[in-house]
Homo-oligomer: A and B are copies of this chain.
Amino acid sequence: MIGVFDSGVGGLTVLKALLREMPAERFVYLGDTARLPYGTKSPETVGRYALQAAEALAGYGLKCLVMACNTASAVALPAVRAQLASLPVIGVIEPGAEAAADASTSGRIAVLATEGTVRGGAYQQAILRRRPEAQVYALPAPLFVALAEEGLGDGPIAEAVAHHYLDALFAPAAGAAPDTLVLGCTHFPMVAGAIRAAVGSAVRIVDSAETTARHVRAALRQAGLAQAGGQGGLRLLATDAPERFARIGARFLERPISEREVELIDL
């Protein structure tokens, strides 16, 4: 099985991309809904939660663990790798940073993320390791999380919020705008239309969910661990409120989720 860990339902955008890239694989997804969101919590707390979740997922017999949560990837990836020494652990930051560094012509790259991810500086560092001359603008955009969860990812409110966050950097009068924008939170693909409306059609938008899914597939193939055929499968675990997980999660996964599909576990 491939384990996928997130603080809640946001990581279902990563799971959706993984299912599309690797339909024959079996996945187990854990959303830590009892303690979400991670994006506003301290690195110490996020690290403790991520280690507990990774440990619990490892018990399901994994060949690979995907840290779908940007905040957890940003602050806890080394600790989780150290704890699960025998298991490949893939975060969402490096694939997103690599795709952004490749996509940008001007080297001016914006990263939209949670407060925790922005403060941790992981995207900034990962991009600068690849392109030391880059100018990276990391912006916290926490309202997008609430908008995505409420199903308001499209429409006038989401567009007003997108303008609020992005106009200072992207409006025509703002000068040399970034040519690339990274969606550095699992919720943000749900708001991509509003973001696109605010930044215009010329900006390249990097979805870290999709880049991560391609990265996981390549890593499994390289290690000879890819599933050759078969039906695949999916187990969904949550630490709280299965009904809400099913209801909100269905929008993120783009398929119905029944409440009975969601297994409640205790960390």
Contact = CB atoms under 8 A, between A and B. Distances in A.
A95 to B, nearest CB: 28
Given A143-B146, A146-B145, A147-B143, A45 B161 contact: no
A182 B255 CA distance: 36
Q: How many copies does the complex hold?
A: 2
Interface string A35-74: 1110011100100000000000000000000000000000
A180 to B, nearest CB: 25
B241 A41 contact: yes
A152 interface: yes
A109 to B, nearest CB: 24
What bracket does the count of chain A residues touching chain B fall in? 20 to 34
Contacts of A145: 146
A197 to B, nearest CB: 15
A171 interface: no
Nearest to A144: B146
Interface string A133-162: 000000000110111011010001100110
A35 B42 CA distance: 11
A244 interface: yes
